[in-house]
């Protein structure tokens, strides 16, 4: 086209870039080339700042473990702060800052942390439980101990209940320096860890070791002692400065149907498992029907299959008589066993049952019959009042709507209800909120009772890790009560976890900044040339969980997860099989699995920002001043705000902010 053929306004129209048009204060239109501003400007409104956020694994962990931290230690990125300390001991210290039971949790926790893992967006989650088990088992082998405060506070706490919540609270309180006495009405400590979970899932030598490590911190223990009966609450209030209620929920809920409460062979799942775990119950029954769908019901069904049945058994040895404490099984009489026919019923469909999927798969493999979308409606009894069957009705796929005319009977010689639990409030009825629980506030203070606190299933039945997390908060509340009296506590952080602190890390490594200047100091606005703050760093870990869309996932290659093997027990070999099913990973596999962690929200020293910065503005921190989270820094005199360092940061540790 010739110039003569060009429209008068063609040049103007061709040069107009509407998507980048802006108005300055005079109203004049400006058309800027984006790359001109990035690569030629000598200043910028945006420069890199390093943001510490909470990773979603930790955000999903009810006990708030610094999972990213101990994975970074196991992979060799973060080094011990004390000379002579091994990598494994340092990982143990970081892991147990929030949760003192790494061996137990590595085996039985359903791992909500793994569900939240950002690596799920790439290939598969990091095997967090596997690494935690290694940390705990190695600590047992090496004999690592917990440290207590250098000086006792002079305050005494009575902890009622020696389960996961009570022991975790004792651990946290002893670290602060408060004396603790644990009261428990059983012959052994452990609560649901001991009496609710079978030994083939939680080996008893491991459990005892992790509990004893806490007791060795100077925790006084009084077993076979029931508060409200053997010792009054009023006596505790006189003798102790604070009380922590961690009594759990060991009273199972019966089925709310006709005949359940009257039939002697209708019992709760909690009572069944306790009788098995304390060694009394050694035979189940010929036809066991368990109603539930959660992990407790799976344990009941799996234990019943392992215990088996004796065909011609004396009435005194009926399972319900042992469970209810009327008698005890004689080992010799229980030697010749047959398999038990075990059926597990759930209102939800099998694929929607709340139990962990691998536990459901194991139960099916072991010969448990699982029926979904049914609801019990009545217990069928014989002339002697014993249950002979459970009448059920089929439900629609929603798990709620009965199907008319679908009722049928399932034969049973033992019916076990595993539909929920509540606290045993006998003797302490004044603590009951009317529903078998104790009411508390967000700080786990008992409502209306100053000096009383609570944690664990008595708040609401949930996971072991939930009880442990609540105990940690309750311990902080007790400490606040001792140091500030009835002064109102400030609101808990939005992300209420044991988050990584760069400030503490720099203090531990002798790199802490100088004291902050007084107000009005001439250098208050600049931290790059002064040493009163951590330069171009912000800690948002108590408010922000980093999501996968803030990461540069293109940095990471596909790497399959190192999966622990399990000993799969088939139906024809389950009888009497009480060996642990989980096979731990090797140390090499544990290190490799730790390296799969993407270190979300924290620099893992990949050098991308240094390599790709076009201005050489991003530099490595001198080795003598470097530590985790301080591997690089930005020279703002060279930075042009091009965003490249942020774009190539795999972990999302860099945001564009600050600037001049």
User: Sign (positive/negative) of CA torsion 600, 603, 607, 612?
Assistant: positive
CATH topology classification for 254-309+319-419: FAD/NAD(P)-binding domain (3.50.50)
Q: Find, among 318, 323, 308, 230, the residue nearest to 269 by Cα.
A: 323
- Kindly state the helix (H) or strand (E) to which residue 515 belongs, with its residue range: none
Alpha-carbon 589 to chain mean position: 23
CATH number of 147-250+423-484: 3.50.50.60
**Angstrom distance (rounded) from CA 365 to CA 342:** 12
Which pLDDT value is given to residue 205? Answer: 97
**Angstrom distance (rounded) from CA 339 to CA 342:** 9
Contact predicate 167/143, CB 8 Å: no
Which pLDDT value is given to residue 335? Answer: 56
Helix (H, G, I), strand (E, B) or coil at 89: helix
- Express each pLDDT in 479-492 by its tens digit: 999 999 988 899 99
- Express each pLDDT in 296-318 by its tens digit: 999 999 999 999 999 888 888 89
Shared fold status for 147-250+423-484 and 254-309+319-419: yes
pTM of the model: 0.90
pLDDT above 50 for 39: no
- Express each pLDDT in 363-382 by its tens digit: 999 999 999 999 999 999 99
Q: Find all residues with CB under 8 Å of 456, minimum gap 6, and list them.
A: 161, 163, 164, 165, 166, 191, 246, 247, 248, 467, 470, 471
Across-strand partners of 47? 657
Tokens encoding 46: 């945006």
Instruction: Band the pLDDT of 440: cuts 50, 70, 90.
Output: very high
Tokens encoding 87: 């990598």
Contact predicate 467/266, CB 8 Å: no
Contact predicate 564/584, CB 8 Å: yes
Which pLDDT value is given to residue 42? Answer: 52
Tokens encoding 165: 């919540």
Across-strand partners of 291? 345, 417
- Express each pLDDT in 61-100 by its tens digit: 999 999 999 999 999 999 998 889 999 999 999 999 999 9
Query: What is the percentage of the chain residues whose pLDDT exceeds 70?
Result: 89
Tokens encoding 281: 């119950």
pLDDT above 50 for 494: yes
Which pLDDT value is given to residue 250? Answer: 92
Which pLDDT value is given to residue 31? Answer: 45
Contact predicate 248/456, CB 8 Å: yes
**Angstrom distance (rounded) from CA 295 to CA 419:** 10
Segments of 53-205 assigned E as strands: 156-160, 179-183
Domain ranges of the chain: 3-40, 147-250+423-484, 254-309+319-419
Tokens encoding 34: 């984006």
Instruction: Band the pLDDT of 327: cuts 50, 70, 90.
Output: confident
Q: What is the DSSP string of 206-229?
A: HHHHHHHHHHTTT-EEE-S--BTT
**Angstrom distance (rounded) from CA 213 to CA 100:** 9
């Amino acid at each position: 086209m010739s110039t003569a053929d060009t429209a008068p306004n063609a040049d103007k129209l061709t040069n107009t870039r509407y998507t980048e048009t802006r108005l300055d204060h005079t109203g004049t239109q400006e058309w800027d080339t984006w790359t001109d501003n990035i690569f030629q400007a000598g200043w910028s409104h945006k420069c890199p700042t390093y943001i510490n956020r909470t990773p979603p694994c930790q955000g999903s962990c009810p006990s708030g473990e610094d999972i990213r931290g101990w994975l970074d230690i196991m992979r060799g990125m973060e080094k011990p702060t004390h000379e002579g300390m091994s990598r494994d001991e340092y990982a143990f210290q970081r892991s147990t800052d929030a949760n003192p039971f790494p061996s137990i949790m590595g085996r039985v926790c359903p791992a909500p942390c793994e569900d939240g893992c950002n690596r799920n967006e790439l290939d598969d989650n990091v095997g967090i439980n596997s690494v935690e088990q290694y940390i705990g088992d190695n600590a047992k082998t090496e004999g690592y101990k917990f440290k207590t405060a250098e000086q006792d506070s002079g305050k005494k706490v009575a902890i009622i209940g020696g389960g996961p919540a009570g022991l975790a609270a004792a651990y946290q309180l002893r670290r602060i320096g408060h004396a603790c006495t644990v009261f428990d009405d059983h012959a052994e400590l452990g609560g649901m860890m001991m009496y609710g979970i079978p030994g083939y899932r939680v080996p008893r030598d491991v459990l005892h070791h992790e509990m004893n490590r806490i007791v060795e911190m100077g925790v006084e223990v009084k077993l076979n002692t029931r508060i409200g009966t053997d010792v009054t609450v009023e006596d505790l209030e006189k003798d102790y400065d604070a009380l922590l209620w961690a009594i759990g929920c060991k009273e199972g809920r019966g089925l709310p149907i006709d005949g359940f409460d009257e039939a002697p062979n209708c019992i709760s799942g909690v009572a069944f498992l306790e009788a098995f775990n304390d060694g009394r119950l050694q035979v189940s029954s010929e036809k066991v029907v368990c109603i539930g769908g959660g992990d407790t019901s799976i344990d009941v069904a799996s234990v019943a299959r392992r215990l088996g049945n004796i065909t011609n058994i004396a009435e005194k040895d009926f399972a319900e008589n042992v469970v209810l404490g009327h008698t005890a099984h004689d080992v010799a009489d229980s030697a010749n066993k047959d398999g038990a026919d075990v059926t597990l019923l759930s209102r939800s469909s099998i694929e929607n049952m709340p139990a962990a999927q691998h536990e459901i798969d194991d139960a099916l493999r072991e010969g448990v019959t699982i029926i979904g979308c049914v609801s019990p409606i009545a217990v069928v009894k014989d002339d002697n009042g014993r249950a002979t069957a459970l009448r059920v009705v089929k439900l629609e796929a929603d798990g709620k709507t009965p199907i008319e005319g679908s009722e049928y009977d399932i034969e049973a010689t033992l019916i076990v209800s595993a539909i929920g639990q509540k606290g045993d409030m006998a003797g302490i009825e004044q603590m009951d909120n009317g529903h078998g629980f104790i009411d508390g506030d967000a700080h786990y203070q008992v409502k209306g009772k100053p000096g009383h606190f609570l944690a664990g299933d008595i708040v609401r039945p949930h996971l072991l890790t939930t009880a442990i997390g609540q105990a940690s908060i309750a311990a902080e509340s007790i400490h606040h009560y001792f140091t500030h009296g009835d002064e109102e506590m400030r609101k808990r952080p939005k992300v209420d976890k044991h988050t990584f602190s760069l400030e503490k890390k720099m203090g531990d490594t002798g790199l802490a900044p100088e004291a902050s200047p007084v107000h009005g100091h001439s250098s208050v606005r600049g931290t790059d040339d002064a040493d009163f703050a951590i330069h171009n760093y912000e800690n948002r870990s108590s408010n922000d969980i980093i999501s996968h869309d803030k990461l540069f996932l293109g940095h990471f290659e596909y790497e399959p997860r190192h999966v622990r093997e399990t000993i799969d027990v088939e139906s024809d070999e389950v009888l009497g099989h009480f060996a642990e099913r989980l096979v731990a990973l090797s140390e090499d596999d544990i290190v490799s699995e730790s390296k799969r962690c993407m270190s979300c929200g924290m620099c893992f020293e990949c050098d991308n920002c240094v390599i790709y910065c076009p201005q050489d503005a991003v530099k490595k921190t001198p080795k003598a001043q470097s530590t985790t989270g301080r591997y690089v820094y930005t020279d703002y005199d060279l930075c042009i705000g091009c965003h490249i360092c942020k774009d190539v940061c795999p972990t999302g540790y860099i945001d564009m902010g600050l600037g001049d």
